[in-house]
């Protein structure tokens, strides 16, 4: 049961997650400090299926995970149907939204589309275990943390690529037993 020792030479979550070293940082959304326009820019300039939601960029504390398509639909609907929602409206994923000056536009509350318990593993988790979790739970993505701070993301496709690489290097890999 000395998992740490046994796996010390093997691939860990940190080796497979994105971003890679020297990549731009993970694209995240903050829980209550971005405007409709900020989020539209993020969704418009990236193609990721989803975005981690964090307390703040500096804290990198994970709050949840929001799917790209849910964001697009909710913002589009709110702009059409909800009074007072404009580009400068603040988007709020928390239960309690901080009070704003009376002159500011309505807040867009999007708590209902937030997955509050996205699956997470620590950066040290052996990939064997990550692969197993993806298979058993049918995950589409998994977030990677270190000391409670968000570090990266592993998608199902990242896992499949990793499996393919392992297969090339070592056909008898434990992954296929």
What residues make contact with ligand ADP under the rule CB under 6 A? 18-19, 26-27, 47-49, 51, 153, 155, 157-158
Q: Which is nearer to ligand ADP, 26 or 75 (CB)?
A: 26
Token couple for 37: 């326009």
Cβ of residue 116: shortest distance to ligand ADP, in angstroms? 17
**Shortest distance, CB of residue 28 to ligand ADP, whole angstroms?**
7
Helices (H), 62-144: 68-81, 127-137
* Cis peptide bond upstream of 93, omega within 30: no
- 73 or 160, CB closer to ligand ADP? 160
**The two three-digit tokens of residue 36, written as one number:** 């409709």
Nearest residue (CB) to ligand ADP, 128 versus 158: 158
HSE-CB for 67 with a 13 A CA cutoff: 9
> Are 67 and 49 spatial neighbours (Cβ–Cβ below 8 Å)?
yes
Least distance CB 112 / ligand ADP (angstroms): 20
Question: Residue 26 or residue 71: which is nearer to ligand ADP going by CB?
Answer: 26
């Amino acid at each position: 049961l000395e998992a740490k020792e046994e796996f010390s030479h093997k691939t860990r979550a940190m080796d497979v997650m994105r971003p890679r070293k020297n990549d731009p940082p993970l694209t995240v959304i903050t829980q209550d400090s971005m405007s409709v326009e900020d989020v539209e820019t993020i969704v418009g300039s990236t193609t990721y299926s989803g975005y981690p939601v964090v307390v703040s960029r500096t804290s990198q504390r994970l709050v949840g995970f929001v799917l790209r398509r849910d964001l697009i639909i909710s913002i589009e609907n709110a702009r059409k149907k909800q009074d007072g929602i404009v580009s400068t409206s603040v988007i709020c994923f928390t239960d309690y939204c901080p009070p704003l000056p009376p002159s500011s536009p309505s807040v867009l509350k999007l708590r209902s589309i937030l997955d509050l318990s996205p699956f997470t593993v620590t950066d040290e988790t052996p990939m064997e275990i990550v692969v197993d979790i993806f298979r058993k739970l049918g995950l589409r993505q998994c977030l990677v943390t270190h000391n409670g701070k968000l570090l990266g993301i592993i998608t199902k496709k990242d896992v499949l690529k990793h499996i393919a690489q392992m297969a090339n290097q070592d056909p008898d890999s434990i992954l296929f037993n």
